[in-house]
Amino acid sequence: MGQLLFVVQQAAQALAAERLEPLGLSPRAWGVLSTLAESGPLTQIELATTMAVDRTAMVYLLDELEEQSLVERVRHPRDRRAFLIHLTDSGQDVRRRAAAALAGAADTLLTPLDPAEREQLNRLLAKVAAHWQQVSAAQPDPGAAQPDPGAAQPDPGAGGPDPAVGEAGPPTARAEPASSRPRGTRAPSRTTPR
């Protein structure tokens, strides 16, 4: 079944890309516009989770859509750290035109199916997609700090920070990520001079 899904997905992706390209959209960009039109404004994290897209990739995708004035980031009224992603009027217009273009692609893709089979396929795919959206939403954020199972856990009855460590906790050593250095350079040596 995996091969069948792959073949159909590749055909659907190619048809979608062909129909969306004249509008300046990728299939993922269409997914953002479509999701926002259906659900209303979402945070970047909610949007990434709903679409099962990596959060970092979502940031870049939203940057592109914002540059095209199709979406806008609006500070969340209840969480200053978050932004809600809104469709602009231009984004609504492009989404409508893309939906019309993609309706023809769906008809092309599903040519061998009669209307009843198309409806059945749609229901089954919606069921599978809903399941995997729930699974994705339940996954911990890979960027969030996870407790170290080997680290000593604070005693809940102790009532405050460990006096041996102080208020701020122990200092943490941070290695410089290789990606932050210019290509072909090394991290500074950590050895002390003689």
Domain contains 51? yes
pLDDT for 180 equals 36
Strand (E) positions, 15-154? 42-43, 71-75, 83-87
- Co-location of 100 and 84 in the same domain: yes
Q: Looking at residue 66, which CATH number applies to its domain?
A: 1.10.10.10
The pLDDT score that the predictor gives to residue 50 is 87
pLDDT tens by residue, 122-178: 999 999 988 987 887 777 655 544 444 444 444 434 333 333 333 333 333 333 333
Please report the pLDDT score of residue 67 as a whole number. Answer: 95
46 plus 131 within the same structural domain: no
157: in domain: no
Positions of the chain with pLDDT lower than 50, given as ranges: 144-194
Confidence (pLDDT) at 141: 55
- What's residue 103's pLDDT? 86
Domain extent at residue 56: 8-109
pLDDT at position 184 is 40
Q: Is residue 176 part of a domain?
A: no
18 Cβ contact list (under 8 Å, min separation 6): 105
How much is the pLDDT for 140? 65
Report pLDDT for 14: 93
User: Are residues 122 and 97 both part of a single domain?
Assistant: no
pLDDT score for 135: 82
Non-local CB neighbours of 50 within 8 Å, separated by 6+ positions: 35, 39, 42, 133
Residue holding tokens 């460990």?
162
pLDDT of amino acid 80:
85
Q: At a CB cut-off of 8 Å and minimum separation 6, what does 34 contact?
A: 95, 98, 99
Report the DSSP pairing between strands 83-87 and 42-43: antiparallel
Tell whether 85 and 118 lie within a shared domain. Answer: no
- Is 161 within a domain? no
Residue 142 confidence (pLDDT): 52
Residue 28 lies in a domain: yes
Q: Tell me, what's the pLDDT at 23?
A: 93
- DSSP state letters, 11-47: HHHHHHHHHHGGGT--HHHHHHHHHHHHH--EEHHHH
Rounded distance, CA 180 to CA 112, Å? 51
